[in-house]
Structure 1
Amino acid sequence: MKMPSLKPLLIPLTAITAGSAFVSYKLFNFAFKRVDYVPETSKEKQKYADQYYEYVDWFHSVPSEEWYLNADDPNKKMVATFIPAEEVAKKTVIIAHGYKGNRETMANYAKMFYDMGFNVLTPDDRGHGDSAGAYINFGWLDRLDYLKWIDRVIKHVGEDSQILLFGVSMGGATMEMLSGEHLPDQVKAIVADCGYSSIKGEVTYLLKRQYHLPEYPVEPMVSEINKRAAGFGLESASSVKQLEKNQRPILFIHGEKDVYVPAKMAYENYRATHAPKQIWIVKNATHAESFWKDPKAYQKRIEEFLSTYM
């Protein structure tokens, strides 16, 4: 029996592969390549604009210092703002910003913790703001920079420092990923607001929801591109796996109506954690909206958590 020729199949298969590669590169450049501006916020949060800019004005007027890592290497330089507490304090919060944000975009949280008597350190992550980096790494490599920022705080404030790790969205995931590292005793607790359970899971979720694309072959191709650009595959960057090793008390906060990082990821992170843990799902809040829904309730919930663990 004569076998049918494969030639008619080769052209469409080649076209599909080439098309997938093109889409994957476009998505990688859109999602992972740094941008030197902060994109417009979601429609749900635009109603808070006036309040937000009041916090930004405060951020730029409060006495502060600019801190650096790798200051002499423009390709690795990291920049942060340190705001000393109004009265001398040993407790410091380190705040991680969200995707395509910067330290200024965390002004509302900085003001909240400042009012609670904390020193505040707000870095720009790799590929964001004034820090170096050609690519966004969604917190996986940033976690290593935060280990250095922690050491810097201890040297500045003292060995008797008490440090809280706090982050929102990508920043929340950054702190969750950091939780699995060997942290100094001065780190007392973590608050993670709307962090994803893994980079692969988040990319796959957004591929389906926003672009109506399947996981395969796009996600593996994006992962391979990132491996060549940033040195790691997406499957290795997991909040869940890091939280399994976490030994610090942690409060998870998540908006009930978050469709950018679904609330189910908060439960995945919560279940993975064996250390003391609490979870607060904020009714009717969308992505990163929990603070804005009720700033006083948000602060009170964090204070209640810290009264137990810090």
Structure 2
Amino acid sequence: MHMVHVLGSMAAGIAIAGGAGLGLAGNALFDMALNPRAKHSIMARINSGEATGTDMSIFASDPSRSAARAWFDEAKRDISIAARDGGVLHGWRVWGHGVVPAPDGRRSPESADVDHRYLILCHGYSGRPSDLAREAHAAHRRGFSVLLPAARGHERNADRYVGMGWLDAYDLLAWIDTLVDFDPDARIALYGVSMGGAEVMMASGLDLPPQVRCIIEDCGFTSVWDELAVQMRDLMHLPVSPLLDAAEAVCRARAGYGFREASAQERLRSARVPMLFLHGADDSFVPPAMLDAVYEACASPVKERVLFEGAGHGASSYVHPERYAMIVGDFLSRHL
């Protein structure tokens, strides 16, 4: 993605005295990380097929993932919501066995399913809903209906800036309302990985309807500021200050949110539904210390955390598949 050119622009911004240089650097960082329409952005490379997102070898080589993707491609159906800032946001859904839509688009009383269980799955940064096809397939086999929104800046919602879970958490309320409108007796669980994990944590402190019974997050970050600071130090080897301050100012002006305010940690202080926190002990992308921070911040009277030894970022369910499935399945059984 011509990373050298992007980093060169940032370095030049630091070297040039005055706000103009920092403005250049802040815009370059914003475009690289959060603007899928920018020529040299991470998302543009992925959307054009020049690079892959979260499909690393440990995931791509898993046979159950390939089979689940084939199932998902066949079973998925389009679903959309009106975005609060205009336009439409897209996702995919697969109704559970026995769930029958009525002509008015709501759930038919003739539906044979009696459990009314729904799982909303939220994918990570640079990914797409199909990254969670394995989890969707497993839930569907257990009788769940599944809904997989595409995050802002991703897949069919690539016409928008990336929301890093913060903007998506508000969108998640609309996705939840769509399920409640479809089935007022719905029993809903939220599940997210990485940026999706941050998204469901950020949603935990919002005014969730009673149909949302529990939330599971896997390797989500404490805040957008904290996560970008980690990446700037460890991946880009760039100074956090003043670059990240400049990029935050750009993000606030162009995308409408700030990196510091976009905090899962703060939102969790208002969480009320049961929460399950999962993380890989060898995660170098979202440090395991963030697990401790979000767990301690969570105000829910029911909360659990599990650390998976030897697992990298988003890989806990692949390194420890049986244990992971047992923990998640047990949590869902107890709270749905």
Partner of 1:100: helix, strand, or coil? coil
Q: Deviations over 1:243-302 (max 9, x none)?
A: 000001000010100000111111100000121100011110000001111333221111
Do residues 65 (structure 1) and 74 (structure 2) align? no
Partner of 1:83: 94
- In the alignment, residue 92 of structure 1 is paired with which amino acid? Y
Higher deviation after alignment, 42-51 or 23-32: 42-51
Partner of 1:55: 68
Q: Deviations over 1:221-241 (max 9, x none)?
A: 010010111111111110011
- Rounded to whole Å, the distance in 2 between the matches of 1:208 and 1:186 is 41
Do residues 261 (structure 1) and 286 (structure 2) align? yes
Q: Deviations over 1:169-190 (max 9, x none)?
A: 0000000000010000000000
- In the alignment, residue 219 of structure 1 is paired with which amino acid? L
Query: TM-score, length-normalised on structure 1?
Result: 0.89
Alignment of 1:24-43 (within 5 A): 24-34=26-36, 35=43, 36=47, 39-41=52-54
Query: TM-score, length-normalised on structure 2?
Result: 0.82
Structure 1: gaps (5+ residues) = 1-11
Partner of 2:147: helix, strand, or coil? strand
Contact residue 94 and residue 122 of structure 1 kept, 8 A: yes
Answer with 1 or 2: which has the greater Rg: 1
Contact residue 92 and residue 164 of structure 1 kept, 8 A: yes
Alignment of 1:87-236 (within 5 A): 87=98, 88=113, 89-131=115-157, 133-156=159-182, 158-236=183-261
- Rounded to whole Å, the distance in 1 between the matches of 2:32 and 2:94 is 33
Q: Deviations over 1:37-76 (max 9, x none)?
A: 57244755256354432221111123x43111139x9962
Partner of 1:23: 25
Contact residue 165 and residue 175 of structure 1 kept, 8 A: yes
Contact residue 76 and residue 133 of structure 1 kept, 8 A: no
Higher deviation after alignment, 37-46 or 253-262: 37-46
Q: 1:298 aligns with which of 324, 327, 335?
A: 324
- Rounded to whole Å, the distance in 1 between the matches of 2:31 and 2:197 is 23
Contact residue 78 and residue 132 of structure 1 kept, 8 A: no
- Rounded to whole Å, the distance in 1 between the matches of 2:73 and 2:312 is 28
Partner of 2:79: helix, strand, or coil? strand
Structure 2: gaps (5+ residues) = 1-12, 37-42, 99-112
Higher deviation after alignment, 75-84 or 279-288: 75-84
Contact residue 54 and residue 127 of structure 2 kept, 8 A: no
- Rounded to whole Å, the distance in 2 between the matches of 1:127 and 1:185 is 29
